[in-house]
Structure 1
Amino acid sequence: MKKQLFILLAFLAISSLNAQDFKTLTYFVNDSTKLELDLFLPKTKSKEKLPLLIHVHGGGFSGGKREDGHHIAKYAATQGYAAASITYTLYMKGKKFSCDGKLPEKVKAFQIAANQLWQATLFFIKNSEKYSIDTNKIFISGSSAGAETALHAAFWDRNAMALYPEKLPESFKYAGIISGSGAIMDLNLITKKNVIPALFFHGSCDVTVPYATASHHYCPPGSTGWLMLFGSYSIYNHIVDLNGTANLYTFCGGGHEYSDELFAKQPQEITSFMARVLRGEKEQSHTIINTGKACAKGEYNFCE
Structure 2
Amino acid sequence: MKQLIFFILILFSLQVVEAQEKYLDSLYKVEPVNTEVYAEKEGEKLVIDLYRPAGVQEKTPLIVFMHGGGFSGGSPKNPQEVKFAKIAASKGYTVGLISYRLKRKETGFGCDYIASGKIETFQMAAEDFMDAVNFMHKNAEKFKIDKDKIIVGGSSAGAEAVLNAVYNPDLMFDNSEKYSDIEISAVFSLAGAIVDARYLGKEQAVPGIFFHGTDDNLVPYATAPHHYCENSKPGYLILDGSKTIVEKLKELDSSFLFYSFKDARHEISGMPFEDLPEVFSFMKRVIFEKNKIQSVVYK
Scaled by the length of structure 2, what TM-score is found? 0.84
Deviation at 1:162, TM superposition (A): 4.2
Alpha-carbon separation, structure 2, partners of 1:24 and 1:171: 25
Among 277, 287, 293, the residue aligned to 1:268: 277
Deviation at 1:272, TM superposition (A): 2.1
1:257 paired residue number:
267
CA RMSD of aligned residues (A): 2.0
How far off its partner does 1:188 sit?
A: 1.6
Residue identity in the other structure for 1:43: A
Equivalent AA in structure 1 for residue 36 of structure 2? L
User: Aligned residue for 1:26?
Assistant: 37
Are residues 163 and 66 of structure 1, via their aligned partners in 2, closer, same or farther at CA, if it must alter by over 3 Å?
farther
Counterpart in the other structure of 1:173: 183
2:167–2:200 contact (8 Å) kept in structure 1? yes
Count of residue pairs brought into register by the alignment: 267
Per-residue deviation, 1:163:
8.3
Distance 2:144 2:31 in 1: 20
The residue type equivalent to 1:270 in the other structure is V
TM score, norm. by length of structure 1: 0.83
User: Which amino acid in structure 1 is aligned with residue 122 of structure 2?
Assistant: F
SS at match of 1:208: coil
* Greater alpha carbon shift after TM alignment, 25-34 vs 278-287: 25-34
1:129-140 equivalent positions in 2, closer than 5 A = 129-140=141-152
Q: Distance in 1 between matches of 2:242 and 2:172?
A: 24
Question: More helix by proportion, 1 or 2?
Answer: 2
- 1:84 matched to which residue of 2? 96
Structure 1 residue runs of 5 or longer lacking an equivalent are 1-18, 290-304
Equivalent residue, structure 1, for 2:224 = 214
State how far apart, in whole Å, the 2-side matches of 1:160 and 1:256 are: 24
Out of 114, 138, 141, the position equivalent to 1:102 is 114
Tell me, in whole angstroms, the C-alpha distance in 2 between the residues paired with 1:186 and 1:102.
Answer: 18
What's the offset of the Cα at 1:160?
Answer: 6.5
**Identity within the alignment, %:** 37
Note if 1:246 corresponds to 2:246.
no
Distance in structure 1 (CA, Å) of the matches to 2:48 and 2:274 = 22
2:204 maps to a residue whose letter is: N
1:184 aligns with 2:186: no
1:225 equivalent in alignment to 2:235: yes
Structure 2, gaps ≥5 residues long: 1-29
The CA deviation string for residues 52-104 of structure 1, in whole angstroms up to 9 with x for no partner, is: 00000011111111112212211110110000100001111111311111112
Which of 292, 295, 298 does residue 285 from structure 1 map onto? Answer: 295
The one-letter code matched in structure 1 to 2:52 is: L
